[in-house]
Copies of this chain bind each other. A is one copy, B any other.
């Protein structure tokens, strides 16, 4: 798509079309080839782009024509308020972490790693192989391609200590991204109105999925060592909850990792209450200073439902993740997936499997670890040197983010506005709290573009805090 000659022809023809009469015939491909000194393939690509934009239409064997513009009248959809009434689950207007921003700002708001941290060459060669294979035209079984199920179960099995039964491939359900996995887990394992315990703060996408499932969210505070087990036990007792959602490794947004001793205590509490732990291992591929051993590796009693995504570490375009669950829970989640989307694209599954079984994937992950360490330390140093008003309470051992506390009483909305005017985009921390925020926080992603600009970013942030203080 981002082909320079093709873009040049598109731009040229857009101008031509703007002044042409509806129905006017475009110059022939041959004439355009001569005019733009481009190949016929490039000209065809430009024409396809303009067709996609609805500016022109081709009639086979006749030529290509300017489409007639339509007049639009304003419509009143007020009747829909009567049909729809108030929403039965809250409507979210879209998260800060998904915002697209211009290339010239310093973007620390995103939830995704920068293009340069992705295994671009591996992804493209995997997609090229998948395109040539049967996967380009195939339909996967509902639970996923057997070889990919096998890879996911093997990965978790490798972390399973001797004496415990590792998962088997049929415990794995391949889903189109971890958000879909979360939605299905909550829908399948909770009836509307039932309690769901979550860490606070926690991933905004999980809060969104919980709201969509009409769960009653029960927050438990969680710090650098995870939640306090005694507090978690009280939450189970008080509410009768059967489900606890958590990110034990490099939690989003705080980067916290549960110490090994906490793993065991929390697993015991979950079991004692006949409950499930939904373990969202979102940052499995983003370890820096420790390793990400899943809690799920220590459970073979079906109490942990494990979620592992490849979207962030492989490519945002390869939406592939896995839910690993055992027993009736697995069956209910699979039934929900079938009702929701039937199956996941064969092509994406085949390409994802190709990437993660390629020997270069290990090398790539090692490089990403080094890169993340450099970038994390660079941003932490920049905050230390240039943003005395921003407090980094905990240097995370993995993940993509720093979780930074601003002075009490800071008006977060005004701070983020000031930052944006100065060319810095940050994510206000409020979205990560399932209940009231417990303070003014911002989340700073150190995996985005332009790490060289971190000192500038820190200065802008500090200045914004200072300006908005009373």
**Contact of B2 with A133 in the complex, beta carbons under 8 Å:** yes
Please tell me which stretch of A11-19, A322-330, A384-392 contacts chain B, meaning at least 4 of its Cβ atoms lie within 8 angstroms of it: A322-330
| Complex CA distance for A256 and B363, rounded to whole angstroms | 57
**A124, B135: Cβ atoms closer than 8 Å:** no
Q: Which residues A120-142 have CB closer than 8 A to chain B? A: 120, 123-124, 127-139, 141-142
A275 to B84, CA, bound (A): 9
Q: Which residues of B contact A177 (CB under 8 A)?
A: 341-342
B327 touches A136 (CB 8 A): no
A92 contacts B by Cβ under 8 Å? yes
Known: A133-B2, A350-B1, A357-B48. A339 touches B77 (CB 8 A): no
Q: Please state if B350 and A52 are interface contacts (CB–CB under 8 Å).
A: no
CB of A327 within 8 A of CB of B77, answer: yes
A318 within 8 A of B: yes
A134 touches B2 (CB 8 A): yes
Contact partner of A328 (CB less than 8 A), chosen from B81, B100, B131, is B81
Q: Which residues of B contact A316 (CB under 8 A)?
A: 137-139, 346
Q: Is the CB of A359 within 8 A of B60?
A: yes
Q: Is A338 an interface residue (CB 8 A)?
A: yes
Residue from the list B3, B75, B120, B124 in contact with A300, Cβ < 8 A? B75
Q: Which residue of B lies closest to A190 (CB)?
A: B88
The answer to whether A136 touches B127, judged by C-beta atoms less than 8 angstroms apart, is yes
Interface size class of A (residues with CB under 8 A): 35 or more
Does residue A9 face the partner (Cβ distance < 8 Å to B)? no
Stretch at the interface among A148-156, A399-407, A439-447: A148-156
- Please tell me which one of the listed residues B71, B127, B342 contacts residue A347 in the complex, with CB atoms under 8 A apart: B127
Q: Are A132 and B139 in contact (CB under 8 A)?
A: no
What B residues does A318 contact at CB under 8 A?
345, 347
Query: What are the interface flags for A38-76 relative to B under an 8 Å C-beta threshold, 1 for contact and 0 otherwise?
Result: 000000010011011110001010000001001111010
**Contact for A136 among B58, B124, B344, CB less than 8 A:** B124
Closest chain-B Cβ to A410's Cβ sits at a distance in Å of 28
Residue in chain B with minimal CB distance to A87: B332
A residues 304-331 touching B (CB-CB < 8 Å): 315-319, 326-329, 331
Q: CA separation between A127 and B131, bound complex, in Å?
A: 6
Contacts of A73 in B (CB 8 A): 165
Copies of this polypeptide in the complex? 2
Given the complex of chains A and B, what is the CA–CA distance between A141 and B99 in angstroms? 9
Measured between beta carbons, the chain B residues less than 8 angstroms from A27 are: none
With contacts A136-B124, A138-B316 known, is A363 near B60, CB below 8 A?
A: yes
Interface string of A188-220 (1 = CB under 8 A from B): 010110000000000001001101101000000
Check A98/B342 contact, CB under 8 A, given A73-B165, A154-B54.
yes
The answer to whether A250 has its CB under 8 Å from any CB of chain B is no
CB-defined contacts of A417 to chain B, threshold 8 Å: none
A147 within 8 A of B: yes
**In the complex the two chains form, is A135's CB within 8 Å of B54's CB?**
no
Contacts of A136 in B (CB 8 A): 120, 123-124, 127, 315, 317
Q: Does A80 contact B (CB under 8 A)?
A: yes
> In the bound complex, do residue B319 and residue A208 qualify as a contact, i.e. CB atoms below 8 Å apart?
no
Q: How far is the CA of A211 from the CA of B187 in the complex (A)?
A: 13
A444 to chain B, nearest CB (A): 19
Chosen A-B contacts, 26 in total, with CB atoms closer than 8 Å, are: A48-B354, A51-B151, A53-B147, A53-B150, A54-B154, A54-B157, A67-B154, A72-B168, A75-B302, A80-B329, A81-B328, A83-B189, A83-B275, A87-B332, A91-B335, A93-B335, A115-B137, A120-B137, A135-B317, A137-B317, A138-B317, A180-B340, A209-B339, A317-B346, A318-B347, A319-B344
